[in-house]
């Protein structure tokens, strides 16, 4: 049995990793001779890409934009499979804010983690809707996603970053009819892979068969979870018992369609990577838009049936 350490993308497991958990729970990794450990990153030591760079894990899940930035810096990291084929972030507000579309955010307080990419995204969303991005009043919320009740308390008029398939589904004392959630894909965001699965290039060179075996089983897990999202619920009851079952099940059903493109899992698509890289460069996030060409490889994925 070969030990394989895989790092997830967030501070805790959430349903975007369902294919990995389901494959492990059903013994499919074990059948392939893989003893898979699923872990989360230690923020003190950096994000998943930092852990991959240090070779502290074999594989990891990370945002595609962060990979592109690191490739432009020459770091030997590579995406080997797509997890999501669309954006997961949303803008959230309340009906009584009077904000009815992105351009209405001009002159209002918008809470977000002010990363270069986050700032570029909110400015883009306001601008493409005909608003003035320079009129945004930004509130630094750090890595914490504001809850609807915090918006109701007046901390900000709206927030950016919370996922429509996770935070937006969480219960709140604020009545559901007051809550407004706009997935960024529906309000003018560029198309992109939210998350990719990847590795250090030395791992890919030294252990190509391990990589192929891991991806083949992961594909099986994601296809099974996409076909029956509720089938992964038991795995999350074991690793995230602090979240309500109803939230986990609802999130599983919401996020599952993002894992597949035309019924297939894993293929990283040039039509998402190239325009997104140019958008990141145009907005000052990425130094070299051509970095996308060497950032990913689909060579380790199972051959399409």
Domain range holding 171?
Answer: 89-186
Token couple for 41 = 């990153």
The pLDDT tens digits of the residues spanning 193-222 come to: 999 999 999 999 999 999 999 999 999 999
CATH number of the domain where residue 108 is located? 3.40.190.10
Question: Does some domain include residue 53?
Answer: yes
Helix axes 270-282, 64-72, angle to 10 degrees: 70
pLDDT of residue 72: 97
* pTM given for the model: 0.96
Cβ distance 156 to 109 under 8 Å? yes
Question: Does one domain contain both 199 and 289?
Answer: yes
Supply the DSSP string of 11-67, one letter for each residue: SS--GGGHHHHHHHHTTHHHHTTEEEEEE---GGG--HHHHHHTTSSSEEEEEHHHH
Q: Is residue 32 part of a domain?
A: yes
50 and 181 assigned to the same domain: no
Same domain (yes/no): 80, 197: yes
Structure-block tokens of residue 263: 């019924």
CA 139 to chain centre: 22
Q: For residues 6 and 198, give the distance between their C-alpha atoms in angstroms, rounded to a whole number.
A: 10
Average pLDDT, the chain: 97
Number of domains observed in the structure of the chain:
2
Residue range 34-58: average pLDDT?
97
Portion of the chain with pLDDT greater than 70, in percent: 100
pLDDT tens, position by position, 51-73: 999 999 999 999 999 999 999 99
Q: Is the pLDDT of residue 21 over 70?
A: yes
As to burial, measured by CB atoms within 10 angstroms (0-12 exposed, 13-18 middle, 19+ buried), residue 129 is middle
- Going by pLDDT thresholds of 50, 70 and 90, the confidence category of residue 304 is confident
Indicate if the pLDDT at residue 252 is higher than 80. yes
Mean per-residue pLDDT, 15-43: 97
Residues 48 and 172 in one domain: no
CA distances from 211 to 6, 104, 273, 299, 301 (A): 12, 47, 22, 10, 9
Determine the Cα–Cα distance for residues 36 and 216; give it in Å rounded to an integer: 13
Pick from 69, 63, 45, 80: which is nearest to 199 by CA?
A: 80
List the one residue out of 274, 96, 90 whose CA is nearest residue 186.
Answer: 90
Q: Is the pLDDT of residue 86 over 90?
A: yes
Q: With 70 as the cut, is the pLDDT of residue 29 above it?
A: yes
Among residues 296, 217, 221, the alpha carbon closest in space to that of 260 is found at 221
Q: What pLDDT was estimated at residue 305?
A: 65
Quick one: 125 and 175 in the same domain?
yes
pLDDT band at 303 (very low <50, low <70, confident <90, very high): confident
pLDDT at 171 over 90: yes
Q: How far apart are CA 155 and CA 112, in angstroms?
A: 12
Q: What angle do CA 70, 5, 232 make, to 5 degrees?
A: 105
């Amino acid at each position: 049995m070969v030990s394989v350490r895989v790092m997830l993308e967030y501070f805790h497991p959430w349903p975007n990793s369902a294919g990995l958990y389901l494959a492990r729970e059903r013994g499919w990794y074990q059948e392939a001779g893989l003893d898979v450990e699923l872990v989360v990153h230690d923020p003190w030591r950096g994000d998943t890409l930092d852990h991959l760079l240090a070779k502290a894990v074999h594989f990891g899940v990370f945002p595609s934009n962060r990979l592109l930035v690191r490739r432009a810096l020459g770091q030997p990291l590579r995406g080997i499979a797509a997890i999501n084929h669309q954006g997961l972030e949303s803008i959230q507000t309340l009906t009584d804010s009077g904000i009815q579309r992105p351009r209405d955010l001009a002159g209002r307080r918008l809470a977000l983690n002010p990363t270069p990419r986050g700032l570029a995204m909110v400015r883009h969303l306001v601008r493409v809707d005909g608003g003035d991005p320079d009129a945004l009043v930004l509130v630094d919320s750090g890595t914490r996603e504001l809850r609807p009740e915090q918006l109701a308390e007046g901390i900000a008029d709206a927030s950016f970053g919370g996922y429509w398939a996770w935070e937006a589904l969480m219960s709140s004392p604020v009545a559901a009819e007051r809550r407004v959630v706009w997935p960024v894909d529906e309000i003018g965001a560029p198309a992109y892979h939210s998350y990719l699965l990847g590795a250090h290039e030395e791992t890919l060179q030294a252990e190509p068969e391990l990589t192929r075996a891991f991806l083949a089983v992961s594909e099986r897990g994601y296809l099974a979870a996409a076909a029956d999202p509720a089938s992964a619920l038991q795995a999350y009851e074991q690793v995230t018992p602090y979240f309500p079952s109803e939230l986990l099940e609802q999130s599983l059903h919401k996020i599952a369609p993002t894992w597949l493109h035309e019924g297939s899992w894993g293929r990283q698509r040039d039509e998402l990577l190239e325009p997104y890289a140019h958008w990141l460069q145009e907005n000052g996030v990425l130094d070299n838009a051509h970095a996308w060409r060497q950032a990913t490889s689909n060579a380790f994925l199972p051959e399409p049936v």
